[in-house]
Amino acid sequence: MARPRTISDQLRAQVIELRRRHTVAEVASKTGLPVGTVKTIIRRSGAFTDNPRHRALFTLPPMTGSAATNVAAVELPAQRVVTGDRELDAILWLRELIQTEHPDFIDKALKAASRIKTPAKELERRYAQFLSASTGNNMAAAFGSFNFADLEFLAKRARERAINRAEASARFGGDPDMVTEADRFCVRVLKGAKEGQYGGVDNDDAADRFREHTELMPRTLEDCLYELAFHHDIYRLRNAATGSDGPPELFARQVFTESLLAEIRPRSKGEARAVFRYLCDQEVEMNNFEAIIDNLLP
């Protein structure tokens, strides 16, 4: 009976590294190992299962307070003559009501807006004329009047901001900077990193530094998507509560993790579909988009 082949540590490491970019069959072909042996090495390595340490780092703090959307009492904005056009001034006042984010004021504004019968396009045209005449800037007038009378959209955004602010308060309490452990990790790792061509952190330098911390690397595409959801949520909460985008080091990590979608092979069709849905929902730089699609294909 033939003795089982002894697999060296070097060959095991080669199998694991190849599997990050190739199918199991391709790895078997490149290494000369049976497919079953390749599968066993991969399974025992644990390198292609979700990384719990990584996920723990890129997780928002738990909700500790009420996430209710009630806001503090605010004073009713005074009605003012701004344009001299009664309907335009009414719209401006209703916009102020909505921008308080007070739920009662929003409801009041939408109810009042329903009684204005002049088409939105006509109101926007007249407001653009007012802005053009008062500023002498036609471009500013065009942008300033865009969706001027769309109070439903304005109300939707105001309600979303109120909900996000309440969630931020419930998760971060009195911390005005909303600092997470992920922020601290990224700032520490990228201390002294090269500056990017357009500011921020150089992507290549950031990638090299992040790869040194293998214990906190995403191992799977699902890990990547989990982390990218964290980046989306922390930006959403910070932007609503403080108007801040967060530290550039955290954004550099987001760029790095998105690049891994073009590198880590999908474990299943379901995982590949999840990445494809991410691409449909997000704005992804074209070169990365094509590289990610190529990675998802068999």
pLDDT, average across residues 21-34: 84
Residue 5: its pLDDT value, please? 61
Q: Is the pLDDT of residue 265 over 70?
A: yes
Residue 22: its pLDDT value, please? 79
Residue 178: HSE in the Cβ half-sphere, 13 Å Cα cutoff: 25
Q: What is the pLDDT of residues 156-185, one digit of tens each?
A: 999 999 999 999 999 998 788 899 999 999
Q: Is the pLDDT of residue 26 over 80?
A: yes
DSSP helix/strand/coil, 111:
helix
Q: What is the pLDDT of residues 198-250, one digit of tens each?
A: 888 999 999 999 999 999 999 999 999 999 999 999 999 999 998 888 999 99
- With a CB cutoff of 8 Å and minimum separation 6, the contacts of 4 are none
Domain ranges of the chain: 9-45, 52-64+175-296, 86-172
Q: What is the pLDDT of residues 40-76, one digit of tens each?
A: 887 777 667 889 999 999 999 998 865 544 555 678 8
Of 6-15, 88-97, 114-123, 190-199, least confident by mean pLDDT is 6-15
The Cα–Cα gap between 60 and 168 comes to: 10
Helix axes 9-19, 24-31, angle to 10 degrees: 140
CA dihedral 181, 166, 257, 249 (to 10 degrees): -50
Q: What is the pLDDT of residues 90-133, one digit of tens each?
A: 999 999 999 999 999 999 999 999 999 999 999 999 999 999 99
Is-contact 230 253, C-beta < 8 A?
A: no
Average pLDDT, the chain: 89
The Cα–Cα gap between 48 and 38 comes to: 13
Residue 2: its pLDDT value, please? 45
Residue 256: its pLDDT value, please? 96
At 3, the pLDDT band (50, 70, 90 cuts) reads: very low
- Give the long-range contacts of residues 87-90, CB within 8 A, separation 24 or more: 87/116, 87/118, 87/123, 87/126, 88/123, 88/126, 88/127, 88/130, 90/116
Is-contact 190 209, C-beta < 8 A?
A: yes
